[in-house]
Amino acid sequence: QSVLTQPPSASGTPGQRVTISCSGSSSNIGSNYVYWYQQLPGTAPKLLIYRNNQRPSGVPDRFSGSKSGTSASLAISGLRSEDEADYYCAAWDDTPVFGTGTKVTVL
Amino acid sequence: QVQLQESGPGLVKPSETLSLTCTVSGGSVSSGSYYWSWIRQPPGKGLEWIGYIYYSGSTNYNPSLKSRVTISVDTSKNQFSLKLSSVTAADTAVYYCAREILFGVDSSDLYFDYWGQGTLVTVSS
């Protein structure tokens, strides 16, 4: 059972803004970087956000990350159909831990 | 372009040992800049980190799996491998190998930049 809790699902219509939360504790998010991964159906995860709010080259600026205390958030603005995927937060907690995952549906 | 490819049996019997190999192309497992990791995902569930190995052979494992896991590296073949012993149905999952950028010994980064496509391993008699 993951120590990083995410809502099971989130949805929005094209163009909307969707936010996904990731709740942890002082031993993980509270004291370490948060990473976000996107997993499109049937594919391997892809790095979306690193070090709380940094985007790797090639990731659209529609994706943004933030962290406050023991929680973090991923925001997707200008939602597009290709954003329909599972999203996982991740952080160190003595060893790497992933969040429970959030399925984003584009209505 | 770095590519990782998992290989190994897709079906393993309960109580036996799961063995997978990840072949790396376009990069070297002998590089001191990366950890070479295994991550798994049970069908319909989330991601679970299994462990990593450094080119020197040093390893770090998920405490929940540590007693059953061995990760090794073969620099001559540019491969690293996973062995998971005494498997049960709970070990049925898609197993991914991945490269993690090493930012520093005390870094809390989890920068997995390249992943294999994943291989489904089913534990069943």
Residue B44 has pLDDT above 90, yes or no: yes
Q: DSSP string spanning A4-42?
A: BB--SEEEE-TT--EEEEEE--TTTTTTS--EEEEE-TT
Q: What is the mean pLDDT of chain A?
A: 97
pLDDT in tens, B7-39: 999 999 999 999 999 999 999 999 999 999 999
- The mean pLDDT value for B90-109 works out to 92
State the amino acid at position B10 in one-letter form: G
CB atoms B110 and A51 under 8 Å: no
Chain A residues touching residue B62 (CB < 8 angstroms): 95
How do beta strands A102-106 and A9-12 pair?
Answer: parallel
Residue B65 has pLDDT above 90, yes or no: yes
Chain B residues touching residue A33 (CB < 8 angstroms): 108-110
pLDDT of residue A66: 98
Selecting from A33, A98, A101 the residue whose C-beta is nearest the C-beta of B49 gives A98
Residue B62 has pLDDT above 80, yes or no: yes
CA B27 to chain CA centroid, nearest Å: 17
Find the closest chain A residue to B37 by CA distance.
A96
Residue A93 has pLDDT above 90, yes or no: yes
CB atoms A98 and B112 under 8 Å: no
Give the whole-number percent of chain B exceeding pLDDT 70: 100
pLDDT of residue A37: 98
